[in-house]
Amino acid sequence: GASRLHIISWGHRMQQSLLGVKENFLMAVYLGTFACTLLHAVLQLRSFEALDREATMKDYAALCSGVPEEWTGEEAELRLKERVEQSCGVRPIGVSICWDFTRQHDQVMDHINRSTEQAQRRCSSFEWFGSHVNFVHRLGQINNGEEEKACILLWPLLFLFERMNRALGFGSREVEDDEESSSEETPEVTESEAATRPGPEERMEPEDEV
């Protein structure tokens, strides 16, 4: 009895003495997670802004609606292209109609998921951080030969992303092609199984500068 009470008393005192350590650990984990979340958001924003400054397809595209649903088959996009050219006086480079693939949704999404997984394995999701000079340049910190100094300061962050890259399984460049996925072709949406739906996207030729 006495020894058991002594053990219980000792355990209670030990628990009370370790409460501060537990609280400090939880606070450190919370602050660290919060800081990493903010850092990730900033890096994502910088990456998006750098990409958006380049010329992309959306800078030369127009979205049209009200396309007749009876337009089906391969000639639908050609007819729409001619209509746009007649109405706007600008020759579209290409027209893409948003097709209704509801009946083949599972098959199409399965193909997209497998293709995305293969692309992620080929190209590291954190490859953008692999080049020290590129990483510092994107952050706008290269100025008068300061890239070496900035790289030294940022090496812990680069090391962290490299470890995250390996942990997520993106470290290997070589990807074994799946025989089944390679043998399967992209599912085609036939005229009998899919109906057109308004929502084409036309890529227009860039106009001359004024």
pLDDT at 132 (0 to 100): 45
d(CA 202, CA 62): 5
**Per-residue pLDDT of the chain in tens (210 residues, 90 and over written 9):** 677 887 888 888 888 888 888 899 999 999 999 999 999 999 999 988 888 888 877 777 888 888 787 777 778 888 888 888 888 888 888 888 887 788 888 998 899 888 887 776 665 544 444 444 454 444 444 444 555 555 556 667 767 777 777 776 655 444 444 444 444 444 454 444 444 444 444 444 444 433
- Per the CB < 8 A criterion, the answer to whether 92 and 206 are in contact is no
Closest of 97, 91, 100 to residue 67, by C-alpha: 97
Q: Which neighbouring-strand residues pair with 61?
A: 203
Treating both helix axes as pointing N-terminal to C-terminal, what angle do 19-52 and 2-17 enclose, rounded to 10 degrees? 30
d(CA 138, CA 48): 11
Pick from 36, 99, 88, 34: nearest CA to 62: 88
